[in-house]
Chains A and B, each alone.
Chain A
Amino acid sequence: MSPDYDLAMAEHTPETPIEHGTSRVKRGMAEMLKGGVIMDVVTAEQAKIAEDAGAVAVMALERVPADIRAQGGVSRMSDPDMIDSIIEAVSIPVMAKARIGHFAEAQVLQSLGVDYIDESEVLTPADYANHIDKWKFTVPFVCGATNLGEALRRITEGAAMIRSKGEAGTGDVSNAVMHMRTIGGELRRLHSMSEDELYVAAKELQAPFELVKEVAAAGKLPVVLFTAGGIATPADAAMMMQLGAEGVFVGSGIFKSGNPAERAEAIVKATTFFDDPDVVAKVSRGLGEAMVGINVDEIPQPHRLAERGW
């Protein structure tokens, strides 16, 4: 249930006429994705494979993070024709990425009819001070976060879903783990505070007091929390779910592996039965090569994507 910190809901009075793009509609969309896997795809064929494997949505992008990392250069919103072809190819929701702060890319994506926009650190940021004002859009946004303060600032800007950043394109799950543990730990700490301590907590989190107070009372974010960044195996997905993720984004992990269709389906099964090691063991068999991967430690600091966003 959404807590009371909700600008659009606060305005609701009985017999309000039909309304689009309210917080309830935007956050509700993310609720429907819970327990599911959202897969990065770069072609209509990959989108079909993802849908057949049981994905709850696909993320349309030009290059998966592993290739963005390998090839370098400026990474931008995908070609509208490519997004159209993916929307045509599948019946499940289609998400797409806009650069951090690039509200015009977001306007284009909304006009194309994508179902969710990821304001993503995986693309090259367009604004090193401001994120997109997401309240202005009818389409909902998901944003990455490495800690609770970052998550709350994104929610304040209108994000209707949060995901851990992890370190995309590496196949190394360690940063996603760190971000989920950090967010979970900070939520638990906030939940245990007395009300007079929340003023300082809000200052430290650099987030509005009213939102901090709501989150402290609920002990959870007012929006759905997924995990992303480096998930490559069914066991990775199961671990992230046990750490409190409500669903999983898989980027390069599927289509950079030896057998995408089977790996995709295995990760879907492990996400549903994340707390049943027998199922996770069974689906982990015979998947062939996982993506090769890069250790996050070996990536020079300036090339780490998780540090983009403020």
Chain B
Amino acid sequence: MPAAQPTIGVLALQGDVREHLAALRSLGADAISVRRPAELAACDGLVLPGGESTTMVKLARIFDLLEPLRDAVRAGLPAFGTCAGMILLADRIEDGAAGQETIGGLHLTVRRNAFGRQVDSFEEDLHVDGLDDPVRAVFIRAPWVEAVEDDVEVLARVETGPAAGRIVAVRQGPLMATSFHPEVGSDDRVHGMFVDLVRSA
């Protein structure tokens, strides 16, 4: 049972690790970088950061972290993926690189680079279930959720523009994922939802 100050790891193979560590620390968690199985074993919860999903999964495979990650998620470790992290937690990927693997756990299909290239990246105000005021959501070559199974709770959908209606935030038991980057900027409310989830696990 996690204490009031849970240990939350951030997968640190590649990506915007520092921003996640800072957000988690500001919420009172003991945040640590995770690159090795022993570091993973110390965690009450795990964040999978933004970055390049193909690079992260390749390094996880090479450094014998992929199976421990799968085991931990299967055993109920609370996990929160942003952007690339959402891809890593998805059971299925569309438009992945050839043979791209995932950790899996979320019963959904994610479409990689769904919004287009960097010139199509954007920010918008987004209403997230469980938060009173909208979040300024930053989408960077982001994925979206193409399809979900019944046990996945949809927390947010794109509100304007050509992709309006697309699912961009989900929760399923102890797992959370967003297409956008709550770690970019100074609003830590989405991280707060995850830290609460870890505390109640």
Chain B binds chain A? yes
Q: Which residues of A contact B (CB under 8 A)?
A: 1-2, 12, 14-22, 24-25, 28-29, 31-36, 51, 54-57, 90-93, 110, 113-116, 138-140, 268-269, 272-273
B141 CB contacts on chain A under 8 angstroms: 29, 32, 93, 115
Contact with A along B53-73 (1 / 0, CB 8 A): 011001100110000000000
Least CB separation from B164: chain A residue: A18
- The distance in angstroms between the C-alpha atoms of A103 and B140, with both chains bound, is 24
**Contact: A273 with B35, CB < 8 Å?**
yes
A33 with B140, Cβ < 8 A, contacts A56-B14, A93-B118 known: no
B184 CB contacts on chain A under 8 angstroms: 2, 24, 28, 31
Distance to closest chain B CB from A217 (angstroms): 15
A21 CB contacts on chain B under 8 angstroms: 119
- The distance in angstroms between the C-alpha atoms of A24 and B139, with both chains bound, is 10
Least CB separation from B163: chain A residue: A18
- The distance in angstroms between the C-alpha atoms of A80 and B196, with both chains bound, is 50
Partner of A36, one of B18, B51, B138, B181: B51
Distance to closest chain B CB from A190 (angstroms): 20
- The distance in angstroms between the C-alpha atoms of A138 and B108, with both chains bound, is 32
- The distance in angstroms between the C-alpha atoms of A91 and B55, with both chains bound, is 11
- The distance in angstroms between the C-alpha atoms of A21 and B117, with both chains bound, is 12
- The distance in angstroms between the C-alpha atoms of A14 and B95, with both chains bound, is 34
Main secondary structure on B side of the interface with A: loop
- The distance in angstroms between the C-alpha atoms of A1 and B16, with both chains bound, is 10
B95 CB contacts on chain A under 8 angstroms: 91
Of A21, A31, A272, chain B has the most CB atoms within 10 Å of the CB of A31
A2 CB contacts on chain B under 8 angstroms: 184-185
Partner of B55, one of A17, A56, A140: A56
A34-B17, A56-B51 are known; give 6 further A-B pairs, CB within 8 A.
A36-B55, A91-B97, A110-B119, A113-B119, A114-B117, A269-B62
Least CB separation from A91: chain B residue: B97
- The distance in angstroms between the C-alpha atoms of A91 and B140, with both chains bound, is 14
A29 CB contacts on chain B under 8 angstroms: 118, 121, 140-141
Distance to closest chain B CB from A237 (angstroms): 13
**Contact: A14 with B134, CB < 8 Å?**
yes
Q: Which residues of B contact A (CB under 8 A)?
A: 12-19, 22, 35, 50-52, 54-55, 58-59, 62-63, 83-84, 95-97, 112-113, 117-125, 133-134, 136, 138-141, 160-161, 181, 184-186
Partner of B50, one of A31, A54, A113, A116: A31
**Contact: A24 with B185, CB < 8 Å?**
yes
Q: Tally A-B pairs: CB < 8 A.
A: 134
Distance to closest chain B CB from A174 (angstroms): 27
B133 CB contacts on chain A under 8 angstroms: 14
Interface pairs A-B: 7 shortest CB-CB: A115-B118, A56-B52, A31-B16, A35-B14, A18-B124, A28-B184, A54-B58
B19 CB contacts on chain A under 8 angstroms: 1, 31
**Contact: B15 with A34, CB < 8 Å?**
yes
B121 CB contacts on chain A under 8 angstroms: 20, 25, 28-29
- The distance in angstroms between the C-alpha atoms of A264 and B62, with both chains bound, is 14
Distance to closest chain A CB from B73 (angstroms): 21
Distance to closest chain A CB from B27 (angstroms): 14
- The distance in angstroms between the C-alpha atoms of A31 and B35, with both chains bound, is 18
A34 with B16, Cβ < 8 A, contacts A25-B140, A54-B58, A92-B52 known: yes
A138 CB contacts on chain B under 8 angstroms: 119
Query: 27 A–B contact pairs at CB < 8 A?
Result: A1-B185, A14-B134, A15-B125, A18-B124, A18-B161, A19-B123, A21-B119, A25-B138, A25-B139, A28-B140, A28-B184, A31-B19, A32-B84, A35-B17, A36-B15, A36-B51, A56-B52, A91-B96, A91-B97, A113-B119, A114-B118, A115-B118, A115-B119, A139-B118, A140-B118, A268-B58, A272-B13
